[in-house]
């Protein structure tokens, strides 16, 4: 549907039914691919040179590794899929990248398989493009994102796109969901804008946030009535999250303890030692400044009253 090199008969038949229910699906699929081009270029320009493309799909051109290597000739790009037919196509056509057979719903297993290729101590870009709508709520798609970010250091990025039920034709979207439910082994779950945004959890969303893929990062194509929403977010350090949530008045107590770091989506942290010291030194400097400048701040009326008392005292003496 997105201009693939090849598609088999079963794919074609399923695709025809989906297109009958929602004729704009091919445009939505193409818009999603173009989003991939932009988001990969954006991540690469932000310095990311390792990518995991989960649910890589049958190849189109240019593919993730071709875009990433325009910016980083040695970029490592690993494709992951769970469909044997897709895997066969990918292995035949994507010579430039390792292809891993894996199921994102068994995310811990998958991450362990990726250890061979990915250095998790350096920033990584994890792409979950048009794949989490094959994961039901019970299978915890937000938990999948957290499992990845639990291995990722600050500076890493997650990009995802997702079929949405927030759009002008919810009936057509519901028909697509039904087709997937009845005719394929994979469920198709369209989610609302809010649900898709929540998949990012506490990651720092890159502006403009979660928007139709045609509008990321700015308007670059006509919207389709079957919306695919997308966004990208970075893994900040834990103390930035605390500060942000504190200022937003959110329940800071909900944040897991420092010793849980790595299970809630923040790899390598709490604040590392340097950050803790930077914060302490910052506080001390602030206190010293306030203390040192306090005399200048004593409000005028108080100073005036003191002077009067002193003068009065001298007269009495």
Ligand X SMILES: C[S@@+](CC[C@H](N)C(=O)[O-])C[C@H]1O[C@@H](n2cnc3c(N)ncnc32)[C@H](O)[C@@H]1O
Q: Closest separation between CB of residue 57 and ligand X, Å?
A: 3
- When asked if residue 105 is in the footprint of ligand X (CB under 6 A), the reply is yes
- When asked if residue 163 is in the footprint of ligand X (CB under 6 A), the reply is no
Figure out which of the listed residues 21, 22, 57, 75 binds ligand X, where binding follows CB under 6 A. Answer: 57
Considering the complex, state which of residue 228 and residue 241 has its C-beta at the smaller distance from ligand X.
228
Figure out which of the listed residues 31, 36, 213, 241 binds ligand X, where binding follows CB under 6 A. Answer: 36
Figure out which of the listed residues 52, 100, 104, 152 binds ligand X, where binding follows CB under 6 A. Answer: 104
List Cβ neighbours of 145 (8 Å cut-off, separation of 6 or more): 128, 132, 158, 160, 199, 200, 201, 203, 265
- When asked if residue 130 is in the footprint of ligand X (CB under 6 A), the reply is yes
Q: Are 64 and 33 in contact (CB under 8 A)?
A: no
Figure out which of the listed residues 124, 129, 176, 229 binds ligand X, where binding follows CB under 6 A. Answer: 129
> Per-residue contact track with ligand X, 278 to 317, x per CB under 6 A?
----------------------------------------
Figure out which of the listed residues 25, 28, 44, 55 binds ligand X, where binding follows CB under 6 A. Answer: 55
Figure out which of the listed residues 11, 66, 83, 245 binds ligand X, where binding follows CB under 6 A. Answer: 83
Relative to beta strand 76-81, strand 157-163 is unpaired
Packing angle of the helix pair 107-114, 141-149 (nearest 10 deg)? 30
Q: Closest separation between CB of residue 87 and ligand X, Å?
A: 9
Residue 163 CB neighbours (<10 A): 25
Give the CA angle between residues 219, 220, 223 to the nearest 5°.
80
Dihedral of alpha carbons 91, 130, 158, 265, sign: negative
Q: Say whether 212 sits in a helix, a strand or coil.
A: strand
What is d(CA 72, CA 56) in angstroms, rounded to the nearest whole number? Answer: 20
Q: Is 249 left (phi over 0), alpha (psi -120 to 50) or beta?
A: left
What is d(CA 29, CA 173) in angstroms, rounded to the nearest whole number? Answer: 14
Q: Closest separation between CB of residue 45 and ligand X, Å?
A: 20
- When asked if residue 186 is in the footprint of ligand X (CB under 6 A), the reply is yes
Tokens of 287: 């206190």
User: Interface with ligand X by CB under 6 A: which range of 55-63, 240-248, 262-270, 272-280?
Assistant: 55-63
- When asked if residue 2 is in the footprint of ligand X (CB under 6 A), the reply is yes
Q: Closest separation between CB of residue 103 and ligand X, Å?
A: 4
- When asked if residue 176 is in the footprint of ligand X (CB under 6 A), the reply is no
Q: Are 120 and 45 in contact (CB under 8 A)?
A: no
- When asked if residue 81 is in the footprint of ligand X (CB under 6 A), the reply is yes
The single residue listed with the structure tokens 């950050």 is: 275
Figure out which of the listed residues 27, 50, 63, 82 binds ligand X, where binding follows CB under 6 A. Answer: 82
> Per-residue contact track with ligand X, 4 to 23, x per CB under 6 A?
--------------------
Cis peptide before 183 (omega within 30 of 0): no
Q: Is 295 left (phi over 0), alpha (psi -120 to 50) or beta?
A: alpha
User: Interface with ligand X by CB under 6 A: which range of 29-37, 217-225, 246-254, 292-300?
Assistant: 29-37
User: Interface with ligand X by CB under 6 A: which range of 41-49, 99-107, 279-287, 290-298?
Assistant: 99-107
The footprint of ligand X (CB under 6 A) covers 2, 32-33, 36, 55-57, 80-83, 86, 103-105, 129-131, 134, 186
């Amino acid at each position: 549907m997105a201009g693939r090199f090849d598609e088999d008969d079963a794919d074609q038949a399923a695709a025809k039914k989906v297109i009958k229910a929602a004729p704009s699906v091919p445009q939505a699929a193409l818009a999603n691919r173009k989003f991939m081009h932009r988001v990969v270029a954006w991540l690469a320009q932000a310095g990311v040179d390792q990518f995991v493309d989960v649910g890589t799909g049958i190849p189109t051109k240019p593919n993730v590794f071709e875009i990433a290597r325009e910016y980083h000739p040695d970029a490592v790009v690993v494709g992951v899929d769970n469909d044997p037919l897709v895997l066969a196509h990918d292995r035949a056509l994507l010579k430039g990248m390792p292809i891993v057979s894996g199921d994102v719903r068994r995310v811990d297993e998958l991450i362990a398989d990726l250890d061979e290729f990915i250095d998790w101590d350096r920033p990584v870009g994890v792409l979950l493009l048009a794949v989490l709508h094959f994961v039901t709520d019970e299978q915890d798609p937000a938990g999948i994102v957290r499992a990845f970010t639990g291995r990722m250091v600050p500076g890493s990025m997650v990009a995802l796109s997702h079929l949405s039920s927030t759009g002008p034709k919810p009936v057509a979207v519901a028909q697509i969901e039904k087709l997937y439910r009845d005719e394929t082994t994979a469920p198709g779950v369209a989610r609302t804008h809010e649900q898709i945004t929540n998949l990012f959890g506490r990651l720092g969303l890159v502006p403009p946030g979660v928007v139709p893929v045609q509008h990321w990062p700015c308007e670059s194509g006509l919207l389709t009535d079957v919306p695919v929403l997308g966004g990208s977010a970075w893994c900040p350090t834990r103390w930035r999250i605390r500060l942000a949530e504190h200022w937003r008045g959110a329940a800071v107590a909900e944040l897991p303890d420092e010793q849980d770091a790595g299970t809630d989506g923040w790899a390598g942290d709490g604040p590392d030692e340097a950050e803790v010291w930077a914060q302490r030194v910052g506080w001390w400097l602030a206190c010293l400044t306030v203390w040192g400048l306090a005399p200048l701040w004593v409000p005028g009326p108080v100073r005036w009253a003191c002077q009067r008392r002193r003068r009065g005292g001298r007269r009495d003496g």
